[in-house]
């Protein structure tokens, strides 16, 4: 099973700042990585799929990069609604797996 | 607009059974891979099971293999998860999720609101 390790566990930032979230895979997964945002009491929302493709309706301040084992989600300028937990997910092989999450706090 | 709505959750004793349902609308249901993903209280996301659009290909996490069965009825835009031999560790919110694109394993571009399942004596 591919293990995804997200860092940091918590990121404390202010609105307007840049957020950089990392996801590292235990073996190469090419570009088969997605990022999700989850707010308390809500379902996850797809932000980025296949490493760098923004999902429909996702603002341009969200961008994904990386390939192989190292991936990054960047939020260029945090808006108040961006404070949430972010998960990465690999779909390179079964079982698809999720990272443990990064919480972005004010 | 894509909508997914789960039902059938609740409280069940260890060893018991429960069937979850998910109805989809706003898209051609039978053309899409569908999945169940769960989230234990205060924990992260865990993939449970995936079903191809035709229903012929089924995939399960090791943690539920042999106990859970996924199925669908495309004529009714419905997907199901039959859960048997339930354990305390199956307690979670269960999400129905639609795949983006045709690739397998999938990523998920639409999610239901989730349905809680509690396994407790």
- Could you tell me if B27 lies within 8 Å of chain A, comparing CB atoms? no
Residue range B64-84, pLDDT digits in tens: 999 999 999 999 999 999 999
In the predicted model, what is the mean pLDDT of residues A73-81? 97
Lowest mean pLDDT among B43-47, B104-108, B111-115: B104-108
Show the DSSP H helices in chain A as ranges: none
Which residue from A minimizes the CA distance to B102?
A: A91
Q: For all residues of chain B together, what is the average pLDDT?
A: 96
Nearest CB to A43; choose among B100, B101, B113: B113
Total beta-carbon pairs less than 8 A apart between chain A and chain B: 61
Q: How confident is the model at residue B111 (pLDDT cuts 50, 70, 90)?
A: very high
- Quote the strand ranges of chain B, DSSP E: 3-7, 10-12, 18-25, 34-39, 45-51, 58-60, 68-73, 78-83, 92-99, 108-111, 115-119
- Predicted confidence at residue B54, as pLDDT, reads 93
Q: Which tens digit of pLDDT belongs to each residue from B32-48? A: 999 999 999 999 999 99
Retrieve residue A64's tokens.
Answer: 């994904």
Cβ pair B111:A45 closer than 8 A: yes
pLDDT given at position B87: 98
pLDDT of residue B102: 78
Q: Coil, strand or helix: which one is B114?
A: coil
């Amino acid at each position: 099973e591919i293990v995804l390790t997200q860092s940091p566990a918590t990121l404390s930032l202010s609105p307007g700042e840049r957020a950089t979230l990392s996801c590292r895979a235990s073996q190469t997964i090419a570009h088969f990585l997605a990022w999700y945002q989850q707010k308390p009491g809500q379902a996850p929302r797809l932000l980025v799929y296949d490493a760098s493709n923004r999902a429909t309706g996702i603002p341009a301040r969200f961008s994904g990069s990386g390939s192989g084992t190292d991936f990054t989600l960047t939020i260029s300028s945090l808006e108040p609604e961006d404070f949430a937990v972010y998960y990465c997910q690999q779909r390179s092989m079964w079982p698809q797996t999720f990272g443990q999450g990064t919480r972005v706090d004010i | 607009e894509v909508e997914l709505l789960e039902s059938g959750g609740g409280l069940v004793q260890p060893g018991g059974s429960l069937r979850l349902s998910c109805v989809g609308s706003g898209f051609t249901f039978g053309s899409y891979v569908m999945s169940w993903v769960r989230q234990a209280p205060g924990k992260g996301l865990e993939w449970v099971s995936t079903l191809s659009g035709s229903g012929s290909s089924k995939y399960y996490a090791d943690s539920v293999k042999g106990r859970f069965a996924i199925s669908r009825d495309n004529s009714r835009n419905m997907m199901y998860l039959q859960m048997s031999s339930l354990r305390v560790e199956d307690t979670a919110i269960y999400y129905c999720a639609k795949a983006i694109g045709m690739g397998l394993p999938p990523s998920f571009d639409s999610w239901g609101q989730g349905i809680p399942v509690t396994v407790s004596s």
